[in-house]
Structure 1
Amino acid sequence: MSRRPAIATVLDGLVDMHVHSGPSPFPRRFDHVEAAEDGARIGMRAMVAKSHHHNTQMDVLAMKGRFAGVAAQAYGGIALNSTVGGLNVHAVRMCLRMGGKVVWFPTISSGRHIDCHPEDGAFPTTTVPLTLERIDIVDGTGALKPEAGEILDEIKAQEAVVNGGHMYPEYIRTLFEAAKERGITRMVVSHPDFVIGAEPELCRELIGLGAFVEHEVGMYDPEGTQKWDPKQLLTWIEALGPEHIVLASDFGQKANPKPVDAWLRVAEALLDLGLPEKDLRRMVRDNPTYLLNLDA
């Protein structure tokens, strides 16, 4: 008989930095409060609500009354796509000074994302017609645009997280080099093997700049839309080291299961493949706790 603790016990204290709860113009399974409430099943400590279209910190503040009695803390952030004005330091400043924790540089407005999904942001199809404009962080010479640097200065001042979004790997490197020059220590590159196309060697370069590499358990859930093999995730963990990795769900879409269910299934799969419990806890609890500065 296995002497392993229940999976929920192993995940206790989990911090999910990538939850696609609503509202959103993309179809969502539940709102931010309902996502945080469901996290009680695995003792979730905190979550970050992500939207490709708007500042989610204002959602979180608007739902404050409904969060009363919910154990998990919810935070918001802002993705620098065309619907917020792209590289808009004013929008970033408001989000972070109102309590937001993460700034995602262009996701669906990035050139790399548009290359992969040229259907004008239909990722999936939006519930209302929207327009999308490409946003680049570098100028024609490859230098970081001044407005991107100003945003990094605000991120530094507020001790927030800078996320490379869905940009080309070389743009993420340029951004993180500038972040390191400013003394920023909380950097994340999301799903390097989805859309972005960052190979392990480049990820090691980003780690050398101080970044964490975020992998999404939702992509490895057998009941989700991606259904990737968990062995692929374990290979990444072994290649980069759990001390440099953050696991997040990237779930909340209407077509996918709830994040907690993905966490339970994929965590069990990783443990069955031989991942030590301490390494799993580090990636789901300790590393994101540091990134969000929760113990400050």
Structure 2
Amino acid sequence: MALGENGGNRDPEVAALLKGAVDLHVHSGPSVMPRILDHEEAQAQAEEAGFAAILFKDHYYPGMSHAQMLEKAYPDRKVRLFSGVALNNPSGGINRYAVDHNIKLGGKIVWMPTFAAKNHIEKYAAKSKDALAFPSTREKMVEPTPLTVLDENGQLTDETKMCLDLIAEGDILLAGGHLHVTEQVPLFEEAKRRGVKKMMINHPTYLIDCTDQDMADFAAMGVYLEHSISMFIENARTKMFDGADLKRFIEAGTVDKTVLGSDLGLTQAPPPVEGYREIVRMLLDLQYSEADIRKMTSTNAASLLGIEV
């Protein structure tokens, strides 16, 4: 049977599996990039589907204030809202002050540079097939300064180490952003030495250049592997993988260290909750158990937020 062929008959099963889902990668607006829904709409849709939590990700600003105000504005909604800071140029790049502010305002994650990462900029300039899936801003912005966690000698910068110390002290999640795998290996090794307990590599097979062995090595180090749902589902302009790829990636990193985040809210793609419906159908077709599906769509992510579901 082809993947998804029997999906329509699985609607009740899929709906049940979405109860308690946790999405660590929601690209709702407002944003300088075009989005198909705003934070309140993302909250409402997640609430209707029974999600336990969603986390807003914007490349340009920390979203904790939006999350907290929306929870206050809609106290009857049970879905919890979180956010964090991406260490791109608008937040001052890789700097301890942005990390400290993020923690003090209740942020749950620090992403290393994404669109401002030297790796991202170089791939985009070279018109890499991967990078071309990345959206442009509504209006042309000031050209980003390329950022890396390594100094001219290939060692982690002192500022990066100070950021890691704050992340460890705050017991929040460190995400690799769009740094290249050759940067993320020393980053996570040093993070572990400095006491960071929650670590995650974003879409390891998109921009980052992870091999299956790299993913296995990261998982063995205790790093979670977040695969973007948007890259596997139909009717998304960012689709670049299929079910067979997903199965291989999960096997490389193990179910226990796999997180599926929507990476949705983008134009020309379904909204986040619909992305979850599609990926759950795919996982069922791939013969994953309900327990394993819940790990990858809920409890693994919840553990990184430090919440119960």
Corresponding residue number in structure 2 for 1:61: 68
Cα distance in structure 2, aligned partners of 1:78 and 1:39: 22
Q: Is 1:277 paired with 2:284?
A: no
Contact kept, 8 Å, 1:9 with 1:42, in 2: the verdict is no
Corresponding residue number in structure 1 for 2:181: 169
Cα distance in structure 2, aligned partners of 1:211 and 1:27: 31
Which among 219, 223, 226 is matched to residue 238 of structure 2? 226
Cα distance in structure 2, aligned partners of 1:285 and 1:61: 21
- Cα-to-partner distance string for 1:139-185 (whole Å, 9 max, x where unaligned): 01111111111111111111110000010101111110111001211
2:55 alignment partner, SS class: strand
Contact kept, 8 Å, 2:165 with 2:195, in 1: the verdict is no
Aligned residue pairs, count:
296
Shifted more, 145-154 versus 65-74: the winner is 65-74
Corresponding residue number in structure 1 for 2:228: 216
Corresponding residue number in structure 2 for 1:21: 28
Which among 172, 180, 185 is matched to residue 160 of structure 1? 172
Corresponding residue number in structure 1 for 2:97: 90
Q: Is 1:74 paired with 2:89?
A: no
Write out aligned runs for 1:182-193 (5 A).
Answer: 182-193=194-205
Cα distance in structure 1, aligned partners of 2:59 and 2:235: 24
Q: Is 1:267 paired with 2:274?
A: no
Corresponding residue number in structure 1 for 2:254: 241
Corresponding residue number in structure 2 for 1:42: 49
Shifted more, 282-291 versus 269-278: the winner is 269-278
Cα distance in structure 2, aligned partners of 1:177 and 1:244: 17
- Cα-to-partner distance string for 1:229-261 (whole Å, 9 max, x where unaligned): 122111211232100111110001133211111
Contact kept, 8 Å, 2:68 with 2:81, in 1: the verdict is no
Which among 214, 218, 225 is matched to residue 202 of structure 1? 214
Q: Scaled by the length of structure 2, what TM-score is found?
A: 0.90
Corresponding residue number in structure 2 for 1:291: 304
Q: Which structure 1 segments of 5+ residues have no match? A: none
Corresponding residue number in structure 1 for 2:37: 30
**Segments ≥4 residues shifted beyond 4 Å:** 1-5, 119-122
Corresponding residue number in structure 2 for 1:116: 123
Cα distance in structure 1, aligned partners of 2:22 and 2:225: 15
Q: Is 1:139 paired with 2:151?
A: yes
Percent of aligned pairs sharing the same letter: 32
Q: Is 1:126 paired with 2:133?
A: no
1:26 alignment partner, SS class: coil
Shifted more, 55-64 versus 108-117: the winner is 55-64
Per the TM alignment, residue 203 of structure 1 is displaced from its structure 2 partner at its CA by 1.6
Name the aligned partner's letter for residue 7 of structure 1. Answer: V
Alpha-carbon RMSD across the aligned residues, in angstroms, is 2.2
Per the TM alignment, residue 4 of structure 1 is displaced from its structure 2 partner at its CA by 9.1
Q: Which structure 2 segments of 5+ residues have no match? A: 1-5
Cα distance in structure 1, aligned partners of 2:65 and 2:11: 41
